[in-house]
């Protein structure tokens, strides 16, 4: 009799548990077929980097031997080319290097400044120049300073910008002296390895 009572209790417990499971909402039981949501990785974009920033991105070894690749289809950023002023001494932009040196880029002439490099080297982007001047100079000889900047897509190098600046108030030949007492600034700028920069360099002013 006691055994029969125990069996009835066990059956009752099983039926109660079955009823509870049957009344559970669908969200209470995980569906193994439901895919787990994953965060979408951010797509790489074109951006200008200083030499230090580029080294931090790709590592010292890759930075020592940069490999330049074509920009992938669709890579771009908004902006417009610089509309320069008219006098050689007018300043198109001003940058500061990591030491705090103020480096103007002047409208210039056929010998130096924006007029010297923009057309012949197909380089009108202000951000390209700024990226180089955010770097530490890799050449310093008196008033002659040289800098490097990098255009990247993710960790792919699209272009390497080389700028040369005159950190003096006159050009070496003394033909030009700044009326504002500031440095002559950018003498030239160009893309390493090519005569003319790829158009993608100028898609952002």
DSSP type of residue 36 = P
Q: What is the pLDDT of residue 44?
A: 59
Each as own residue / partner, the long-range contacts of residues 170-173 (CB below 8 Å, 24 or more positions apart, any chain) are: 171/111, 171/112
Q: What per-residue confidence (pLDDT) applies to 178?
A: 97
DSSP summary character for residue 189: E
Q: Is the pLDDT of residue 38 over 50?
A: no
CA distance 96 to 136: 10
pLDDT at 32: 40
Instruction: Summarize pLDDT for 40-74 with one digit per residue, the tens.
Output: 344 557 878 899 999 998 999 999 888 888 888 76
Q: How far is CA 97 from the centre of its chain?
A: 17
pLDDT bucket at 83, cuts 50 / 70 / 90: low
Task: Identify the pLDDT of residue 75.
Answer: 73
Q: For 25-34, 137-146, 194-203, which range has the lowest pLDDT when averaged over its residues?
A: 25-34
Cα–Cα dist 105/93, whole Å: 5
Q: Bigger pLDDT: 76 or 109?
A: 109
Using CA atoms, how far apart are residues 23 and 9, in angstroms rounded to an integer? 21
Percent of the chain having pLDDT more than 70? Answer: 72
Average pLDDT, the chain: 81
Running DSSP on this structure, what letter comes out for residue 118? T
Band (pLDDT 50/70/90 cuts) for residue 9 is very low
Model confidence pLDDT, tens digit, residues 144-191: 999 999 999 999 999 999 999 999 999 999 999 999 999 999 999 999
User: In the chain, what percentage of residues exceed pLDDT 90?
Assistant: 60
Residue 143: its pLDDT value, please? 98
CB of 53 closer than 8 Å to CB of 151: no
108 pLDDT above the threshold of 90: yes
Report the predicted TM-score, pTM, of the whole model to 2 decimal places: 0.67
pLDDT at position 79 is 44
> Is the pLDDT score of 25 beyond 70?
no
CB 160 within 8 A of CB 68: yes
């Amino acid at each position: 009799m006691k055994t029969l009572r125990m069996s009835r209790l066990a059956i009752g417990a099983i039926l109660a548990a079955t009823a509870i499971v049957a009344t559970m909402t669908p969200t209470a039981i995980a569906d193994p077929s439901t895919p787990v949501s994953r965060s979408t990785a951010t797509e790489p974009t074109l951006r200008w980097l200083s030499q230090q920033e580029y080294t931090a991105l790709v590592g010292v070894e890759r930075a020592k031997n940069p490999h330049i690749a074509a920009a992938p289809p669709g890579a771009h950023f908004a902006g417009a080319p610089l509309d320069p002023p008219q006098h050689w001494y007018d300043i198109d932009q001003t940058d500061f290097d990591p030491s705090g040196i103020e480096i103007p880029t002047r409208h210039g002439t056929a010998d130096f400044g924006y007029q010297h490099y923009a057309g012949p080297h197909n380089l009108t982007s202000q951000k390209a120049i700024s990226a180089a001047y955010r770097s530490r100079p890799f050449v310093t000889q008196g008033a002659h300073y040289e800098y490097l900047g990098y255009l990247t897509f993710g960790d792919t190098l699209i272009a390497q910008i080389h700028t040369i600046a005159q950190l003096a108030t006159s050009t070496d030949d003394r033909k030009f002296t700044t009326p504002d007492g500031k440095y002559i600034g950018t003498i030239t700028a160009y893309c390493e390895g090519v005569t003319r920069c790829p158009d993608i360099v100028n898609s952002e002013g």
